[in-house]
Amino acid sequence: MKTATVLALSLALCATGCGSAQKQEKTPVARQSSADEILRSSTSWTSGLPEEGILSPPSAISLFKNTWTSVLRLTPTTAHETLTITENLQLRAGGELHCRTTIDHELGIRYGRRKGEAAVELWRPALNLPRSCDGLHPEGDIQKTEARALFVLRADTLVAVEPPLEKRKYLPIAE
């Protein structure tokens, strides 16, 4: 009798709890867009790219140590960059020169996927801006051609994958 009671209780619980008598609705899983995925990590990103080297004559600069610091503000449709270029130069004639130039500008932006990873393509317009230095810079204004790069979201970092020699990595800024 004890076994029959346990069996009856088990069947009653299974019928109500297992859902065999009830039809369960399945909700479709919503797939996030690449923009949603990237912006969920952060809307503000920063990257610092150091450059250093030795220049040969006839350059008036013998040694340079530069850092390009980029701060991005992303939305689903826009990208804004604050780019700060810090230059520390040793001049061939002797002496040092220090420059710090900042520009705020809009970037081109396009979200998508690359091999299943959330991706964002950014392009910076051509730059032609005067340097802000503590003396006269021998090369004049900063001039760069338009630059495009494709970044994929890996963990919490935007990593450049195209062009192959692009070295920037953007880390999220806590807000």
58: in domain: yes
Mean residue pLDDT across the chain: 89
- For the segment 26-79, what is each residue's pLDDT rounded down to a tens digit? 777 677 899 999 999 999 999 999 999 999 999 999 999 999 999 999 999 999
pLDDT at 17 over 70: no
20: in domain: no
Q: Domain range spanning residue 37? A: 32-172
pLDDT at 156 over 80: yes
44: in domain: yes
81: in domain: yes
- For the segment 83-94, what is each residue's pLDDT rounded down to a tens digit? 999 999 999 999
Q: Which long-range contacts does 52-60 make (Cβ < 8 Å, 24+ apart)?
A: 57/92, 59/92, 59/138, 60/91, 60/92, 60/93, 60/138
86: in domain: yes
Query: What DSSP letter does each residue of 41-102 carry, written as one string?
Result: H-SEEEEEEEEEEE--TT-SEEEEEEEEEEEEEE-SS-EEEEEEEEEEEEETTS-EEEEEEE
27: in domain: no
3: in domain: no
Strands 142-144 and 169-172: what pairing?
unpaired
Closest CA to 61 of 127, 126, 131: 131
44 residue type, one letter: S
Q: What is the pLDDT of residue 27?
A: 75
**CA distance linking residue 129 with residue 26, whole number of Å:** 57
Q: How confident is the model at residue 9 (pLDDT cuts 50, 70, 90)?
A: low
**Number of domains into which the chain is organized:** 1
- For the segment 87-140, what is each residue's pLDDT rounded down to a tens digit? 999 999 999 999 999 999 999 999 999 999 999 999 999 999 999 999 999 999
Q: What is the pLDDT of residue 90?
A: 97
